Amino acid sequence: MKKIRDFQEKDRLTMPLLVKEVKNGTTNKGAPYLSVIVQDSSGTIDGKFWDVKPEDQKTIKTGRIVTFWFDVLLYNQNLQLRITRAEPASPAEVNMEDFVIASEISEETRKKDLDAYVQSIGNEKLRKLVTGMLEKAGERFFTYPAASRIHHSFLGGLSEHSLSMTAMADEVCTHYPQLNRDLLIAGALVHDVGKIEEMSGPVTTEYTLKGKLEGHISIGNGWLSEVAEKLHLEDSEEAVLLHHMILSHHGHLEFGSPVVPMLQEAEVLCLIDNLDARMNTLKQALAAVEPGEWTSKLFALENRQFYKPKGE
């Protein structure tokens, strides 16, 4: 069966796809339509279902696997589906592995790398705090995405993002030995752990009520308070510094951080967080275009387009 990444303009296909997102709309003439994002294990694609009927709206729900009839069109330099029919997928057609985008790094490797980084933290109090946070997160740390759409938005994305940042942090500490490696590694590992309660899960990722009202920074900070109190480390400088790493990692008040970085390690954490997110966004966008072509406008990168050189 053809994958989304292999779709080409003028394709006419019938196949099951996972409904990642669906929104109701109305045309200027008052006719209802649906805007959908559908997914398989190779990626996602936007679609429009014009002249939609009530029975179609009941069928196309977030999280369901639906058999779609559609044409592939080029719209604003992006491929898009024009859906003409939809029916519930037959259970015989459904193997969730075919519809879930997952980290390219195995869970076994991610767990091994995580354990090595935790054990490398020389400061006992920081190591205990990080261990407590990760124990609180449990297996969800390895299955949840790091975001709903923009970067690392796939099964295992949270741990892949956190470990990628930790690897960069390790390199930066080699180049700038004035940094407190233990603190920076600890911050990289747990700064986003609150996303486990901010989002609903790895398959059809939506923001939870708690996630919308509190946000992952506040959630993670609260978790750290609970862990530190349980370990009787709530008054330690290590706990205060790690709180600051979590609270400031978005870098600016307008980006959701309640405080700005006021430790050199917090400044570095913010920078490598932004770099890793942007590079993953670019990796996904450039993988979807051929050499010699441009990506679509990327909202997360100031609506810029990026060119993929012919030599790549």
Listed as own residue / partner, the contacts of 33-37 with beta carbons closer than 8 Å and 24 or more positions apart are 34/60, 34/83, 36/60, 36/81, 36/83
Query: Where do the CATH 1.10.3210 domains begin and end in the chain?
Result: 107-284
Rounded to two decimals, what is the model's pTM?
0.81
The CATH number assigned to the domain with range 4-98 reads: 2.40.50.140
Q: What mean pLDDT, rounded, does the chain reach?
A: 91
- Report how far apart, in Å, the C-alpha atoms of 53 and of each of 33, 67, 95, 149 are: 8, 16, 28, 28
Query: Where do the CATH 2.40.50.140 domains begin and end in the chain?
Result: 4-98
Alpha-carbon span 183 to 33, nearest angstrom: 51
Checking if the pLDDT of 260 tops 80, the result is: yes
Lowest mean pLDDT among 60-74, 203-217, 269-283: 203-217
How many Cα atoms sit within 13 Å of 146 on the Cβ side?
26
Query: Which CATH entry fits the domain spanning 107-284: 1.10.15, 2.30.29, 1.10.3470, 1.10.3210?
Result: 1.10.3210
H or E element at residue 36: strand 32-40
Alpha-carbon span 261 to 245, nearest angstrom: 8
Q: Are 103 and 202 a contacting pair, CB within 8 Å?
A: no
- pLDDT band with cut points at 50, 70 and 90 for residue 204: low
Residue-wise pLDDT for 284-306, tens only, equals 889 878 899 898 888 889 999 99
